[in-house]
């Protein structure tokens, strides 16, 4: 249902419609025309005054979890006011509506549940998925973020409790990238869960069963993807937080067939590459000259490694040479050829070496210039690990990207490296003081990538999202870190400027899409003005009153 379909809404129904409700901002004339007289206090307020009240409420909350709950209630009653608040200070609110607070939310999602948001497509809907999707009231969905809850923020398989992730991701499409919120749809693909504790929880809202065998799951996902093409033909499918093997398999299966991408694989890869590009500009070095050690060998590590290989090939290395510069470890030790538990994707990075589970020993052997953590093992980069990286490198690059528990904190990295580390984590740490030096740690979070990419896709309507476009997104971000910011050790632009950053990235990506014949709409004369004209702005629009009867 779009806004024109909602014009007949009046009275209390209007106040209960989060898309049209403006609460105390309804004018005296609107209240009379729309049957609202007597239903609101007499004072007519501006959107700015309403936002002031919201901020006072948020300031009074004792924890970010309580702030999240308050904001969730707000978006359920007044979407415009919700985005007015979020977009007023993204640096403050992104950590509340997304990571790290969202990790706590997802652990208790079924217990915190208030009212439905998005869609739940479960296994018992097999054969009817297109029919069910048509129950969504908006026909022109442009972004659908879908999860199975199989691998959420280092929490493992949390099934239907993972729904908080698609909701939060799509809110950032709007808050950080100005994608119109009515074009987005969060989806929980409920295939059951391996989490026995959840299945036994009387308040758990998902299917109380184990996930199906791979062949049955593949058929279910195939029906879902096909149904999305039928019901929402202009929609981009954003795969989010699927179990690692499923994430890799479905991205490979659909990336050249439908408009889709996997943010855990491609978004993480792109934002990591952007931070590395900036760090290497500070060092005056090339990507192709680095040696990378990943702690973690799942979908994020593999996706990032594959993107790094492509980027190093662009600098002149062969594929084999590029892959040889990437070493991985996981919970079972070094990824090397004698292991019998490796996937085909992991074997690409299994280089001849003696087996070991000792991270320090691996660092001594490999002598990496870049250490990347995607292990979900908080604290794994211990003091001896960081000190050894600093012994090997004048400016070690250390990216502990696990959320919500990174492998080391910013204070630890700077302290143990005598202030020489080039550091970015998956969560934002405050600035660190060491003597008279101020260090500003970066946050290698995907929200620097997917909102701008989403805005470009929304505007240009490409048929596919290619690996080259993901690399272009990384460079579009890195190029916005000024020389003066680099001199202060910053690897990413300030979060306070995130909307400007995302719009600038979207313009560059749109330019790339037009130049490479990937856009399916006519090229405008002024791309930036064209894209800015499509950007969502949290303002109250006109409501045409409809007479009763």
DSSP per-residue codes, 195-233: -HHHHH-TT--S--SPPPPHHHHHHHHHHHHHHHHHHST
Strands of the sheet with 442-443, listed across from one edge: 333-334, 326-330, 292-295, 370-373, 397-400, 422-425, 442-443
d(Cα 124, Cα 147) in Å, to the nearest integer?
A: 17
- In the set 98, 204, 423, 492, the catalytic residue is 98
Please enumerate, by residue number, every residue annotated as part of a binding site for (S)-malate: 151, 445
Q: Which helix (H) or strand (E) holds 371?
A: strand 370-373
* Catalytic status, residue 113: no
360-396: b (≥16 Cβ within 10 Å) or e: eebbeebebbbbbbbbbbbebbeeebbebbbebbebb
Residue owning tokens 């990207």: 401
CA distance 288 to 311: 8
Other CB atoms within 10 A of residue 22 CB: 20
- Distance of alpha carbon 394 from the chain centroid: 32
| DSSP symbols for 321-349 | HHHHTEEEEETTEE--TT-SS--HHHHTT
Of the candidates 169, 243, 254, 448, the residue annotated as catalytic is: 169
- Alpha-carbon distance of 407 to 418, in angstroms, equals 18
Q: Name 370's Cβ contacts closer than 8 Å, sequence gap at least 6.
A: 276, 290, 291, 292, 293, 397, 399
DSSP character string of 115-151 = S--SEEEEGGGTT-HHHHHTTSS-S---EEEEE-SSS
Element (H, E) at 261: strand 260-262
- H, E, C per residue of 3-61: HHHHCCCCHHHHHCCCCCCCHHHCCHHHHHHCCCCCCCCCCCCCHHHHHHHHHHHHHHC
Q: How many CB atoms lie within 10 A of CB 139?
A: 13
- Cα–Cα distance measured from residue 353 to residue 334, given in angstroms and rounded to the nearest whole number: 8
The answer to whether 412 touches 397, Cβ cutoff 8 Å, is no
Q: Which residues are annotated as a binding site?
A: 151, 240-241, 264, 445
Residues 6+ away with beta carbon under 8 Å from 461? 234, 519, 520, 521
Rg (CA), the chain: 24
Annotated binding site for a divalent metal cation, which residues?
240-241, 264
Is residue 204 annotated as a catalytic residue, yes or no? no
Angstrom distances, CA of residue 157 to CA of 160, 196, 197, 289: 9, 10, 11, 38
**What's 241's DSSP letter?**
S
Positions marked catalytic: 98, 169
């Amino acid at each position: 249902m779009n806004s024109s379909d909602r014009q007949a809404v009046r009275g209390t129904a209007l106040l209960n419609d989060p898309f049209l409700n403006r609460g105390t901002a309804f004018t005296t004339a609107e209240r009379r025309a729309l049957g609202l007289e007597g239903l609101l206090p007499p004072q007519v307020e501006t959107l700015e005054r309403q936002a002031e009240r919201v901020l006072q409420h948020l300031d009074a909350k004792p924890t970010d979890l309580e702030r999240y709950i308050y904001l969730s209630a707000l978006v359920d009653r007044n979407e415009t006011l919700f985005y007015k608040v979020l977009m007023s200070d993204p640096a403050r609110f992104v950590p509340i509506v997304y990571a790290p607070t969202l990790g706590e939310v997802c652990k208790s999602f079924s217990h915190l549940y208030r009212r439905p948001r998005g869609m739940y497509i479960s296994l018992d809907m097999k054969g009817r998925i297109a029919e069910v999707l048509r129950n969504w009231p908006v026909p022109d969905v442009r972004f659908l973020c879908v999860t199975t809850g199989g691998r959420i923020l280092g929490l493992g398989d949390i099934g239907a409790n993972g729904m908080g992730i698609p909701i939060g991701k799509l809110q950032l499409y709007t808050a950080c990238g100005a994608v119109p919120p009515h074009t987005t749809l969060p989806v929980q693909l409920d295939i059951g869960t391996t989490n026995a504790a959840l299945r036994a929880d009387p308040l758990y809202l998902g299917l109380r069963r184990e996930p199906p065998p791979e062949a049955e799951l593949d058929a279910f996902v195939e029906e879902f993807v096909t149904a999305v093409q039928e019901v929402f033909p202009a929609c981009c499918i954003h795969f989010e937080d699927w179990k690692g093997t499923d994430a890799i398999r479905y991205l490979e299966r659909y990336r050249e067939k439908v408009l889709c991408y996997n943010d855990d694989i491609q978004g993480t890869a792109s934002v990591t590459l952007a931070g590395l590009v900036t760090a290497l500009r500070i060092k005056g070095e090339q990507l192709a000259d680095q040696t990378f050690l990943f702690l973690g060998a799942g979908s994020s590590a593999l996706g990032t490694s594959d993107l790094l290989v492509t980027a190093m090939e662009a600098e002149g290395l062969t594929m084999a040479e590029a892959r040889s510069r990437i070493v991985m470890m996981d919970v079972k030790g070094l990824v090397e050829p004698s292991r019998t538990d490796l996937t085909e994707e992991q074997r690409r990075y299994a280089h001849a070496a003696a087996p070991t589970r000792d991270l320090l020993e691996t660092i001594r052997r490999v002598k990496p210039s870049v250490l990347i953590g995607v292990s979900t093992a908080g604290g794994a980069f211990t003091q001896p690990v960081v000190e050894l990286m600093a012994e090997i490198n004048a400016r070690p690059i250390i990216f502990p990207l696990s959320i919500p528990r990174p492998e080391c904190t910013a204070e630890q990295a700077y302290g143990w490296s005598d202030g020489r580390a080039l550091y970015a984590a998956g969560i934002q740490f405050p600035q660190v003081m060491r003597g008279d030096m101020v260090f500003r740690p970066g946050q290698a979070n995907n929200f620097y990538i997917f909102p701008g990419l989403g805005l470009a896709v929304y505007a240009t309507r490409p048929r596919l999202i290619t690996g080259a476009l993901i690399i272009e997104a990384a460079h579009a971000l890195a190029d916005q870190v000024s020389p003066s910011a680099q001199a202060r050790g910053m690897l990413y632009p300030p979060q306070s400027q995130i909307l400007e950053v995302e719009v600038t990235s979207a313009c560059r990506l749109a330019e790339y899409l037009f130049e490479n014949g990937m856009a399916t709409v006519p090229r405008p004369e002024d791309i930036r003005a064209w894209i800015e004209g499509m950007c969502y702005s949290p303002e109250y629009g006109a409501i045409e009153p409809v007479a009763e009867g």
